[in-house]
Structure 1
Amino acid sequence: MERVSSSSSSLASLLLLLAFVAFSGEASPPSGSERPVLRFTGKRGEFKILQIADMHYADGQKTKCEDVLPEEVPNCSDLNTTAFIYRVFEAEKPDLVVFTGDNIFGPDATDAAKSMDAAFAPAIALKVPWAAVLGNHDQQSTLSREGLMQHIVRMAYSLSSINPEGLQIDGFGNYNLEVAGVEGSGLANKSVLNLYFLDSGDYSTVPDIDGYGWIKVSQQMWFKKVSSHLQKLYRSKPEPQKELAPGLVYFHIPLPELSSFIESNMTGVKQEPISSASVNSGFFTTMLEAGDVKAVFTGHDHVNDFCGELTGIHLCYAGGFGYHAYGKAGWSRRARVVSAYLEKTPSGSWGGVRSIKTWKRLDDKHLTTIDTETLWEKGNEVGGRRRKRITRGH
């Protein structure tokens, strides 16, 4: 299938072989999988995150694709999803990969643990640190949501956590990660970029409320406490900072606020309704009050891939990644990339985060880059945003 090849059939064959080995369990986990420290690199002053949403992985080669062109149907399976991961890893070389839910499609996965092993295998094989949250379909197989997260946190190179230790909190998979400044710089021992991960649930458990789950009060209280603590650390000695360290938030089910965007206020496309919870639990307001969040990244609605800004916070879809997931025939599967860049201090060393950009990679012949835009620049938090749409490179 041309969609998963780059310039030659030999590369496509190699990618599909890697995918088959990943699912069959013939590749042993690599050694040296101790928990790495996330840090900006001194060479580029950059930290790059690859978001993969809605893989919908099931049983590998047995699991056929949905919503692809007729000529692609015969040879298309979960293995095409794996091949796309390898391609985009090679192209972007991310510092962290974030899987934002519906990692497996429970109804078609005969063994949840085996399906997850296959879904996350490329990150492990390439020794890339990764983190995951759950969607609304992950738990519909042979493991509960708690069981899924227990499995995920034990996997090699996973930075995921089930929940903060000692806290009673809704859901499974509420945690944060800190990205330190450049080694040897004044901010080497501080988090200059804060990442928050939350379990947005699956379906409503309230009898009189239909639809999807939402981020509960206990989760919002945890988020506010962590955000406040990190801000105090960032502003403390040594090297006290005047501004807040920027934060990025990842979960699966989109917020109701995404429905407020109109076409002129977004980059990307909206091709289906916003499938948020039918109630608004107030998490957007909670993030506004915290003051550090610059962007939120979700999945769930596979053929939406837009970003829009509301009161200084960007709300962004990744767009559907997996081939065993509904999509749109002829509309390429895609991944979202977010890259943060440090500023230089007057002395010439690396300081805090200067700007945050995003773009998307398409699973087409050229791994086309589209919709590059600046999400945030220091000193320019609201308004004055620069946007640039491109179709090749960035």
Structure 2
Amino acid sequence: MTNLRFREDGSFRVLQMADIQDGPNVLPDTIRLIREAIRKADPDLVVFTGDQIRGYDPAYIDTFLRRRGEEPGARVRAVTEVEAKLRGIKRRARNRVNNRLLAMKSDGSNPDVQQTASTASTTSTLVYSTTSDPQDVPTTLDELMDETRDKVRRTFAGFLGPVIEAEVPFAATYGNHDFQCGILADEQDGIYREFPGCLNPVDSLEPGTFALPIEASDGSGRVAMSVMMVNSGDYAGKPEENDAQYPAYVVNPRGLDLADSDGYGTPSPEAIDWLGAVQSELGERNGDGKPVPAIAFQHIPPQEFYDCLKEVPAWTPNAVEGARTHAGHCYVLNHEICRPGSRLGEAIGCADENVGEVDALREAGGYFALFCGHDHKNAFVGHAHGIDLGYAPTCGFECYGPKSRYRGIRLFEFHESNPAGYVTRMLTWGDLVGRYSSNEVRVWFEDHCVTGAISMRNELRRPQVFAVLSGAMSLGFMAVIRSLVKKR
């Protein structure tokens, strides 16, 4: 593995790329943003903080996993089905028995393997066959999984291209959509390692949870700082416990992340313990037993991120409504503790359960910041509970997010003498490329996406949106009055 080291001038630069969330053909705008950010920043390390894969993309319709443990392709989002039809993507016919055997094998559980195997030679039913193409013969799941692996490699090759060209080391953790393509994190880890510059270790605690020590510039080997990558989980609960909620998922597929589950996931208990144990290991390596200055990166934010906000009345301009455990409350940034340039564009999508991660960071010592992705429109940095809590917004153009000019990549500049005194800023499309993307109509719809009453109310709190709707309603009212007057 490449040894990371502070430069001779004592500096070290990191780029955080969040929520690329794309399919096999990564959009050119996303690749251009990554390339321009690398050119501007000249980073020493790139970290990907989850949801690199748009697991619900129609390209993965045959192997899609709504939740872990389910049969790949069995329960596909309604919106994915619609998108697939619009893009002319057809689902493949498969053998049910082979599907079950391989799905259980890939998931590591096999309660019915013997019974299923005993009927494998006599049963050959199809899971589905939605195409009349005579060339589309029944396909086994292992063939479809191989195709998905190739698609995942193409996705990685797309967004990693500029990173590899610049010969910058990179590391990746995982979000709540990566696994939904059907390839789980442990296998994705192996695919990442096929690319030059990957720092994801083979022997990590779990895929996406590991330390990246940064050595002092003097070549002594002393660890002057560490970047910690944390797998923050995906969804809470077990899929079999939520089957009763599946009809609600069909009606509101946009809410699949929450409606058919017990909310978002959290770091595992082992990962929480590791946060302290790894500091002890680094202290022993340095010979002084002291925790090293450290910044942690993960996908899903913990509940403490809400403490960077302040609650306001529901009619406050640009306020956003909280989600799940914070539903019914409206928030804006608390500028007394948030850095200049911070942006709040949507609710904080944290887990319902607080597993004590922030407390663990404080107790371990050394940790000065925790940065996440997940909520595509948020780009704030606040200081709460003795630690910086911050976001990078989406840097992709395939998923929902803010206006083109606000999509970007977060730059961190650390100095060996005081890593906790870091400087961070956004490198945005607007700064690096221009005001508009190559498909601004699409971005406009992604920015103003309304999926329910809460998002509708959030839109109405945006002054420009409210002004446009009010003007349109006024013109409509005047037109009605004029028509009534003419009739008289």
Is 1:159 the equivalent of 2:199? yes
Tell me the SS of whatever aligns to 1:337. Answer: strand
Letter in 2 for 1:257: E
Q: 1:365 to 1:224 in 2, by over 3 A?
A: closer
1:197 maps to 229
Q: Per the alignment, in what secondary structure is the counterpart of residue 56 of structure 2?
A: helix
Rounded Cα–Cα distance in structure 1 between residues aligned with 2:2 and 2:189: 19
Q: Contact 2:18 / 2:50 at 8 angstroms: preserved in 1? A: yes
Say whether 1:228 aligns with 2:280. yes
Distance in 2, matches of 1:117 and 1:366, equals 22
Look up the match of 2:424: 358
Distance (Å, rounded) in 2 between the aligned partners of 1:117 and 1:38: 23
Question: Which sits farther off after the overlay, 358-367 or 331-340?
Answer: 358-367
Residues 1:58 and 2:23 are matched in the alignment: yes
Judge conservation of contact 1:50–1:97 (CA < 8 Å) in 2. Answer: yes
Q: Is the 8 A contact 1:134 1:199 kept in 2?
A: yes
Q: Does the Cα contact within 8 Å between 1:253 and 1:299 map onto a contact in 2?
A: yes
* Greater per-residue helix proportion: 2
Identity %: 28
Q: Give me the TM-score of the superposition, normalised by structure 2.
A: 0.58
Q: CA deviation at 1:59?
A: 2.9
Q: Give 1:96 shift.
A: 0.2
- Structure 1: segments with no counterpart, 5+ residues: 1-34, 62-77, 344-351, 369-394
Distance 2:386 2:162 in 1: 35
* 1:107 aligned residue: 56
Cα distance in 2 for residues equivalent to 1:117 and 1:104: 12
What CA distance in whole angstroms lies between the structure 2 residues aligned with 1:193 and 1:117? 30
User: Paired residue for 1:176, among 211, 219, 231?
Assistant: 211
Q: Which amino acid aligns with 1:83?
A: R
Give, as a single letter, the amino acid of the residue that structure 1 aligns with 2:229. Answer: F
Summarize the Cα distance change of 1:129–1:331 in structure 2 as closer, same or farther, 3 Å threshold: same
Q: 1:283 aligns with which of 345, 351, 357?
A: 357
Question: In the alignment, is residue 119 of structure 1 matched against residue 159 of structure 2?
Answer: yes
Structure 1 CA distance, aligned partners of 2:287 and 2:378?
38
Equivalent residues in 2 for 1:1-394, closer than 5 Å:
35-42=1-8, 44-60=9-25, 78-108=27-57, 109-110=59-60, 111-161=151-201, 163-164=203-204, 171-184=206-219, 188-206=220-238, 207=241, 210-236=262-288, 244-262=291-309, 263-264=334-335, 265-267=337-339, 268-343=342-417, 353=419, 355-366=421-432
The separation in 2 between residues aligned to 1:366 and 1:56, in whole angstroms, is 21
Larger CA deviation: 87-96 vs 208-217 = 208-217
3-state DSSP class of the match of 2:176?
A: coil
Q: Deviations over 1:325-374 (max 9, x none)?
A: 1012355211111111133xxxxxxxx64732211111115469xxxxxx
Give per-residue Cα distances to partners, 1:208-259, cap 9 Å, x unaligned: 87111101211111221111121233353xxx9xx74210101101111001
For residues 155 and 358 of structure 1, the distance between their equivalents in structure 2, rounded to whole angstroms, comes to: 28
Distance in 2 (CA, whole Å) between partners of 1:283 and 1:356 is 22
Alignment RMSD (CA, Å)? 2.1
What is the Cα deviation at residue 129 of structure 1? 0.4
Name which of structure 1's ranges 315-324 and 215-224 shifts more when overlaid on structure 2: 215-224
With over 3 angstroms needed to count, the CA separation of the structure-2 counterparts of 1:163 and 1:324, relative to structure 1, is: farther
- CA shift at 1:121, angstroms? 1.9
Distance 1:273 1:354, change over 3 A: closer
For 2:387 and 2:234, the matched residues in 1 are separated by: 24
The residue type equivalent to 1:356 in the other structure is Y
* CA 162–203 in structure 1, closer or farther in 2 if over 3 Å, else same: farther
CA offset digits 1:313-336 (Å, max 9, x no partner): 101101111001101235521111
Q: Which has the larger radius of gyration?
A: 2
Structure-1 separation of matches of 2:433 and 2:4: 27
